[in-house]
Amino acid sequence: DTAVSQTPKYLVTQMGNDKSIKCEQNLGHDTMYWYKQDSKKFLKIMFSYNNKELIINETVPNRFSPKSPDKAHLNLHINSLELGDSAVYFCASSPSPGQGAGQTNEKLFFGSGTQLSVL
Amino acid sequence: AQSVAQPEDQVNVAEGNPLTVKCTYSVSGNPYLFWYVQYPNRGLQFLLKYITGDNLVKGSYGFEAEFNKSQTSFHLKKPSALVSDSALYFCAVRPLGAAGNKLTFGGGTRVLVKP
């Protein structure tokens, strides 16, 4: 059973289209994330939700809109796709975020990625 | 703001030889430090972490890492590399007390272990 699953695995689309990537985790985690990995393999966080509430929102164009219908799902919708959006998008989950000394819930579980190609 | 540097884009090593992947970090206060590995067409997998305590941390697949506060480094090591260790390795940092699990990743180091 895949712990963090995201679909589709590959997504090829034209500029200007709107597309969604879905993510589901069956680990019972409270926190989910979207990361973007560019062509140089640089990995950067985009969003994080804890129990359906947005807790991290990096400087991401507002064409990107995450939606968390429940704590097991975090979908990513992208409007008006641009060439620069081409990347691999990873979903991840973890137990509730730890804060302060002694909190060690930072182990992230990643999905296998969605390779988005905008033509 | 925190940052992570992995100075080597690629490390080549012969099977059976020791492997070292370098990482240095910059963060305000005490850091939480992590190593993740990414195999081709897969998501990242957690290898090990340093929170507090012993500076030498042991992780999965025979890997270990040494936290050096004075040099702000957290190099990943394995005494005897395997061909199956060939992958992309990421170092990451989170400052103590930061809200959420906002990890900052380094740019990654590709490891190639030759038979």
Q: Percentage of residues in chain B with pLDDT exceeding 90? A: 74
Q: How far is A23 from chain B (nearest CA, A)?
A: 13
Domains of chain A: 4-95+109-118 (2.60.40.10)
B40 touches chain A (CB under 8 A): no
Domain boundaries, chain B: 3-114
Domain B3-114 has CATH 2.160.10.10: no
Nearest Cα neighbor of A42 from B106, B21, B10 is B106
Q: How far is A15 from chain B (nearest CA, A)?
A: 24
Give the pLDDT mean for A64-77. Answer: 94
B45 touches chain A (CB under 8 A): yes
Q: How confident is the model at residue A102 (pLDDT cuts 50, 70, 90)?
A: very low
pLDDT of residue B3 exceeding 50: yes
Chain A residues whose beta carbon lies within 8 Å of the beta carbon of residue B99: 55-56, 97, 99
C-alpha to C-alpha distance for A75 and B104, rounded to whole angstroms: 22
Q: Percentage of residues in chain A with pLDDT exceeding 90? A: 61
Cβ separation A110–B41 shorter than 8 A: no
pLDDT of residue B96 exceeding 60: yes
B112 touches chain A (CB under 8 A): no
- Summarize pLDDT for A33-59 with one digit per residue, the tens: 999 998 888 889 999 888 888 888 887
Q: How far is B41 from chain A (nearest CA, A)?
A: 7
Query: What mean pLDDT value characterizes chain A?
Result: 88
- pLDDT given at position A100: 42
Chain A residues whose beta carbon lies within 8 Å of the beta carbon of residue B32: 106
The residue of chain B nearest to residue A9, with distances taken between CA atoms, is B41
Chain B residues whose beta carbon lies within 8 Å of the beta carbon of residue A109: 46
Cβ separation B102–A107 shorter than 8 A: no
B103 versus A8: the higher-pLDDT residue is A8
Cβ separation A40–B107 shorter than 8 A: yes
- pLDDT given at position A106: 66
- pLDDT given at position A105: 57
